[in-house]
Amino acid sequence: MLVTIKDIAKAAGVSHTTVSRALRGHPAISTETTRHIQQLAEQMGYVPSAVAQSLNSRQTFTIGMVVTTIADPFVPLVAEGIEKVAQEAGYSVFLMTSYNDPEREMTVVETLQRRRVDAIIVTASRVGSLYGEQLERIQVPIVLINNQENGEFLHSIAVDDVQGAKLATEHLLALGHRRIGYVGLLTRPKSNAHRLLGYQAALQKADIPQDPNLIFLPPPDDDFRCGELALSLHLKHQATAILCYNDITAIGLLNTCQQNQIAVPQALSIIGFDDIEAAQYVSPPLTTFRQPRLQMGELAMQMILDLLNKKSVEDQLLPGELIIRGSTVQIYPEQ
């Protein structure tokens, strides 16, 4: 059995109250008693029960981190940022996966409530949008990271999708491309709309007429597979460059190009979004718009801490950064 403050009290010949106070350095306890009790606690290997403390204080120092799946390449670095800041502030993190499965989403919300988490961070999941009412009933600070459709009462951190797609498109324009395609994903309605918007804004600013054939929205499928299908933008519609919704899509496209003997970037420039780890390893290495994932996690947890301290917080729209690698190149004049 584990050592409790009552055990220490018995050993020291005092009441458990005194032990409790001595251990937290309460001024009303004499220096000598305090020292003695602390020493005794050390000897007996006492470790306070967070469970009992939580029950008493109505704070668990626990947060729920909801993700669609931790295996999504976007998620781990965000999780790392969250966990790091949380741990430093004395909070522990519950990992909960929803798989975009309604049943599991229900389970997750119910579990968060049962566990009495102090706050919730939802990353790239539908939970934030679909279960808004349930989440709100928990009466706990909630921060959403890159969520689709955010409710107005929730706090959020997101990367500036519009700006990102705009920068990426402008990069391609600067390289001389005029027929630039966009591959979107309907499974991420909000950020897809924003990235499309950025793409269109860049074209418009450069006075390039928009060709609807160059916007490709494949039916919902594997991200990678969507990239493979996007090759038609090049084959059928003469795109010389393609902006992909994310890196997985871009890598899928890259892959098909290799199988079809289409030289990247010589024949086709490809640009991704996110800058996942794999982006730098493929060949050619992928030009992409980097999302500051670690920072997003850190900021989200910091925002939670501020909310718990009743500080006022503001939603953040982070800038991101275009990383130029080998998959984009100046268009050949003869084309």
Residue nearer to a copy of itself on the CB measure, 110 or 315: 110
How far apart CA 293 and CA 273 sit, in angstroms, is: 12
| String marking each residue 47-86 x if it binds DNA according to CB under 7 A | -xx-xxx-xxxx----------------------------
Q: Cβ 150 to a copy of itself, closest distance in Å?
A: 24
How far apart CA 88 and CA 236 sit, in angstroms, is: 54
Q: Binding to DNA by residue 2, rule CB under 7 A?
A: yes
Q: Binding to DNA by residue 25, rule CB under 7 A?
A: no
Q: Binding to a copy of itself by residue 332, rule CB under 8 A?
A: no
Q: Which member of 4, 20, 54, 232 binds a copy of itself (CB under 8 A)?
A: 54
Other Cβ atoms closer than 10 A to 150: 18
Both tokens assigned to 260: 């079809």
How far apart CA 209 and CA 207 sit, in angstroms, is: 6
Closest CA to 124 of 175, 71, 83, 165: 71
Q: Binding to DNA by residue 5, rule CB under 7 A?
A: yes
Q: Which residue has the tokens 């626990």?
A: 62
- Residues 278 to 317 in contact with a copy of itself, rule: CB under 8 A: 278, 281-283
Which of a copy of itself, DNA, none sits in contact with 278, Cβ below 5 to 8 A by type? a copy of itself
How far apart CA 142 and CA 128 sit, in angstroms, is: 9
**DSSP assignment of 86-132, as one string?**
HHHTT-EEEEEE-TT-HHHHHHHHHHHHHHT-SEEEEES-SHHHHTH
Residue nearer to a copy of itself on the CB measure, 97 or 302: 97
Q: Cβ 45 to a copy of itself, closest distance in Å?
A: 7
Is residue 73 a contact partner of residue 278, using CB atoms and an 8 Å limit? yes
Residues that bind a copy of itself (CB under 8 A): 2, 45, 47-52, 54-55, 60, 65, 69-71, 73, 75-77, 79-80, 83-84, 87, 92-97, 104, 107, 110-111, 113-116, 137, 139, 251, 255, 258, 277-278, 281-283
